[in-house]
């Protein structure tokens, strides 16, 4: 909601008076997530289901935020002693966050079934007449937990196809363009919920004093140009030529073909990288490389790449695998992995051109 819409809403009926209390707290004048969703429901003529779906997510993320913030005090640090379907060692908070998601979002009956990074198969919500599917990475960046660096939760919401059953995997295998909503929570210096329902991207900060998410980042937009890239540089020897070309040019800085210096960041939590890009632009890359080619890449399509691609595109950025638009990929598996290049439009356009140039050259070489 931009300021003008906020003003409209205020004029439309909410009596707002200047605080007459000396030094009075003005936070009551902010728009809460609930008010924002209701306003959007009236504006876009929703039935209220999407509002209810996102209310489930709101409560879930508040509970996970609480557990993350308690950290060592609650014995939430360290490993769980188990592995997930990816064969990755689970942290205690991975398991706890997953349980919170499953429990809290099943209560409303909105969801027919769910899929989680932490579960091998579809999780059916028995007895639900819900017409939606929820996919999530309950704790993204969990390798950061024990070193007190930002982590997050990522979610994606799909409609249950007409005539389909939430019991089956096939119901989930929809391209990212079919998402009805997506978002993430970032548990950092503050807890924020950033989401889209297809009408732009808006960010809400958790007011810990009253336990309410308030609109603090209306209509988030990604600058088309940027001079900051995020990639795990320890994998440089595995990169494909187009990626190496792009990074080498960034590193060449003002004396190189880009004519300006670049900065680098790597937080090892996709949520934090995407949030930074939404706040100030940049490009995030976890491309397919010589080492992860067999797996199809590192990041998972259904509950990491697709929701983040939806958000990034809604904020004016782009999200590709290198050659293809991520949201157009027809999934073949619940835990399918893809290469991810996303962020500022003009930087992603350049990377796409470099991949096309390379494919064209390689194609000629094979003739
Ligand atoms: P974890 O949740 O296992 O820490 O993985 C996080 C992630 O999927 C993504 O959020 C990061 O961008 C990426 O992996 C970090 O990968 P590296 O461990 O290779 O830095």
CA distance 161 to 77: 39
CB distance 161 to 112 below 8 Å = no
Atom 8 of ligand 1, nearest CA residue: 299
What is the mean pLDDT for each group of 10 consecutive residues in the chain (367 residues)?
37 38 58 93 83 93 95 77 78 91 90 96 93 97 92 97 90 98 97 96 96 97 98 98 98 98 98 98 98 97 98 98 97 98 98 97 75
SS3 319: strand
Query: What's the token pair of residue 197?
Result: 């329902």
Ligand 1 atom closest to Cα of residue 235: 19
CB under 6 Å to ligand 1: residues?
88, 140-143, 232, 268-270, 286, 298-299
Ligand 1 atom closest to Cα of residue 268: 15
> What's the pTM value of the predicted model, to 2 decimals?
0.91
Residue 87 Cα to ligand 1 middle (Å): 14
> pLDDT tens across 235-270, in order?
999 999 999 999 999 999 999 999 999 999 999 999
Q: What's phi and psi for 205, nearest 5 deg?
A: -105, 135
SS3 content of the chain, % helix, strand, coil (to 5): 40, 25, 35
Atom 17 of ligand 1, nearest CA residue: 268
CA distance 89 to 248: 34
Ligand 1 atom closest to Cα of residue 284: 12
């Amino acid at each position: 909601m931009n300021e003008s819409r906020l003003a409209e809403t205020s004029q439309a009926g909410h009596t707002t008076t200047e605080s007459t209390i000396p030094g009075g707290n003005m936070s009551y004048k902010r728009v809460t997530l609930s008010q924002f969703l209701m306003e959007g429901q009236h504006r876009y003529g929703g039935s209220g289901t999407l509002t209810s779906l996102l209310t489930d997510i709101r409560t879930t993320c508040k509970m996970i935020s609480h557990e993350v913030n308690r950290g060592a005090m609650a014995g939430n640090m360290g490993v769980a002693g188990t592995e997930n379907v990816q064969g990755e060692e689970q942290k205690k908070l991975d398991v706890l966050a997953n349980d919170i998601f499953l429990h809290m979002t099943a209560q409303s009956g909105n969801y027919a079934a769910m899929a989680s990074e932490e579960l091998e198969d579809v999780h059916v919500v028995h007895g639900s007449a819900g017409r939606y599917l929820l996919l999530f990475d309950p704790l993204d960046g969990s390798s950061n937990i024990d070193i007190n660096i930002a982590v997050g939760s990522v979610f994606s919401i799909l409609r249950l196809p007409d005539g389909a059953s939430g019991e089956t995997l096939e119901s989930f295998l929809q391209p990212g363009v079919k998402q009805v909503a997506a978002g993430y929570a970032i548990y950092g210096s503050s807890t924020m919920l950033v989401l889209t329902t297809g009408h732009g991207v808006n960010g809400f900060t958790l007011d810990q004093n009253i336990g309410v998410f308030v609109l603090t980042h209306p209509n988030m937009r990604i600058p088309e140009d940027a001079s900051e890239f995020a990639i795990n540089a320890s994998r440089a020897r595995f990169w494909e030529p187009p990626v190496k070309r792009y990074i080498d040019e960034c590193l060449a800085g003002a004396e190189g073909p880009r004519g300006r210096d670049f900065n680098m960041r790597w937080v090892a939590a996709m949520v934090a990288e995407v949030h930074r890009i939404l706040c100030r632009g940049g490009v995030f890359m976890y491309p397919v490389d010589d080492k992860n080619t067999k797996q199809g890449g590192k990041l998972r399509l259904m509950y990491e790449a697709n929701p983040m691609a939806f958000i990034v595109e809604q904020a004016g950025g782009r999200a590709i695998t290198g050659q293809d638009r991520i949201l157009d990929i027809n999934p073949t598996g619940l835990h399918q992995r893809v290469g991810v290049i996303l962020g500022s439009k003009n930087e992603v356009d350049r990377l796409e051109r470099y991949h096309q140039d390379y494919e064209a050259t390689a194609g000629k070489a094979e003739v």
